[in-house]
């Protein structure tokens, strides 16, 4: 068959009425000694972003351009997060489509000059850090207010549903904490009007929002999406290494994973996992900077990148 330029779609409601603007938004993540950080534009309290333009070769290159221009920071690994039409602008004459990306880099010394533009992501989501156990201060504030919100529903079914969702998301009622539910948690807090974004523009007598810095527009929601994605992805793809320096110890690697996932990892088991996966190799060098016995320095085996079978199958597929 020979496909020339056949019309792709059935109908076109032509004219320029349906043009949109496309924005590129970046969640740039890097580690700063065991603190997972996100690159921000402090003046605007926003993530780096900018419009997609004709001059851009591709969406990704457009994004790289904006981030480098706004922050002076070049990007390495990039992956698309999600695309959404800005809800706030419904009814406006022109709509904006936002295409968000997750980028992973390292904070180099040059960039350290503008260091203040890196913010810990737990400043925005204090309830997400469970490395020292569940953060009692935040959660004991949240729990009753979420409960109150759940009980304020008119119908019984709705009340039960809200309770179940909060319990699942936050690990209440003997349920286990799942760090990957970061987005669901933020959305629940939004729904319950417990974050500043949800009461924006409303009466100033609205209840005090919970702890955690907010961001412009829905940038904090995008950050939550990025956190959830990253927490999920480190489990089946070796993306952590994008955040590591060329040489590192296994404990440094562990601390990075712990910082991202927001929970502690069993040390011997982590070492076993890393070593049996053959993702890293010893350099022979050691470092004494870690305090106790000098640690082996490892490097990531780049050659293995695409080889891994992605994930452990959860289906009893038969082997060839």
Instruction: Give 72-77 contacts, CB < 8 A, sequence gap 24+.
Output: 72/110, 72/111, 72/114, 73/28, 73/39, 73/105, 73/111, 74/105, 75/26, 75/28, 75/103, 75/105, 76/103, 76/104, 76/105, 76/106, 76/242, 77/103, 77/104, 77/105, 77/239, 77/242
Site for a copy of itself in 151-170 (CB under 8 A): 165, 168
| Residue 251 binds which entry of DNA, a copy of itself, none, CB below 5-8 Å type-dependent | DNA
Phi, psi (deg, nearest 5) at residue 273: -60, -50
217-231 residues labelled b (16+ CB within 10 A) or e (exposed)? bbbbbbbbbbbbbbb
Under 8 Å between Cβ of 27 and 100: yes
Q: Which of 80, 152, 283, 287 binds a copy of itself (CB under 8 A)?
A: 80
What's the CA gap between 81 and 27, in Å, rounded? 9
Contact pattern for a copy of itself over residues 183 through 222, marking x by CB under 8 A: -x-----------x---x------------xxxxx-----
Name the site residues for DNA (rule: CB under 7 A): 249-251, 266-269, 271-273, 286, 288, 290-296, 312-319
Q: CB of residue 176 vs DNA: minimum separation in angstroms?
A: 10
Span of 84-92, 121-129, 137-145, 283-291 interacting with a copy of itself by CB under 8 A: 84-92
Q: CB of residue 252 vs DNA: minimum separation in angstroms?
A: 7
| Residue 295 binds which entry of a copy of itself, DNA, none, CB below 5-8 Å type-dependent | DNA
Q: 108's torsion region: left (phi>0), alpha (psi -120 to 50) or beta?
A: beta
Nearer to a copy of itself, 143 or 272 (CB): 272
Nearer to a copy of itself, 12 or 284 (CB): 12
Site for a copy of itself in 231-250 (CB under 8 A): 232, 234-236
Contact between 137 and a copy of itself per CB under 8 A: no
The residues, any chain, with a CB within 8 Å of residue 79's CB and separated by 6 or more, are: 101, 102, 103, 229
Site for a copy of itself in 260-299 (CB under 8 A): 261, 263-266, 269-270, 272-273
Nearer to DNA, 6 or 314 (CB): 314
Q: CB of residue 259 vs a copy of itself: minimum separation in angstroms?
A: 13
């Amino acid at each position: 068959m020979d496909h020339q330029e056949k019309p792709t779609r059935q109908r076109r409601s032509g004219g320029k009425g349906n043009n949109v603007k496309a924005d590129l938004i970046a969640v740039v993540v890097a580690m700063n000694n065991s603190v997972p950080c996100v690159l921000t534009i402090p003046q605007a309290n926003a993530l780096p972003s900018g419009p997609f333009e004709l001059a851009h070769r591709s969406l990704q290159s457009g994004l790289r351009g904006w981030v480098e221009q706004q922050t002076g920071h070049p990007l390495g690994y990039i992956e698309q997060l999600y695309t959404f039409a800005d809800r706030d602008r419904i009814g406006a004459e022109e709509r904006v489509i936002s295409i968000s990306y997750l980028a992973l880099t390292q904070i180099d010394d040059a960039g350290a000059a503008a260091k203040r533009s890196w913010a810990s992501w737990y400043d925005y989501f204090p309830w997400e850090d469970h490395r020292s156990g569940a953060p009692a201060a935040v959660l004991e504030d949240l729990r009753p207010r979420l409960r109150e919100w759940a009980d304020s529903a008119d119908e019984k079914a709705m009340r039960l549903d809200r309770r179940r969702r909060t319990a699942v998301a936050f690990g209440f009622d003997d349920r286990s904490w799942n760090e990957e539910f970061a987005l669901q948690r933020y959305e629940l807090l939004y729904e319950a009007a417990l974050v500043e974004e949800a009461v924006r523009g409303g009466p100033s007598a609205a209840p005090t929002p919970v702890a955690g810095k907010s961001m412009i527009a829905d940038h904090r929601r995008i950050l939550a999406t990025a956190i959830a994605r990253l927490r999920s992805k480190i489990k089946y793809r070796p993306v952590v290494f994008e955040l590591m320096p060329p040489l590192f110890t296994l404990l440094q690697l562990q601390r990075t994973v712990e910082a991202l996932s927001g929970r502690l990892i069993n040390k011997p088991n982590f070492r076993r996992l890393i070593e049996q996966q053959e993702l890293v190799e010893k350099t022979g060098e050691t470092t004494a900077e870690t305090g106790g016995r000098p640690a082996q320095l490892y490097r990531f085996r780049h050659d293995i990148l695409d080889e891994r079978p992605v994930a452990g199958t959860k289906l009893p597929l038969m082997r060839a």
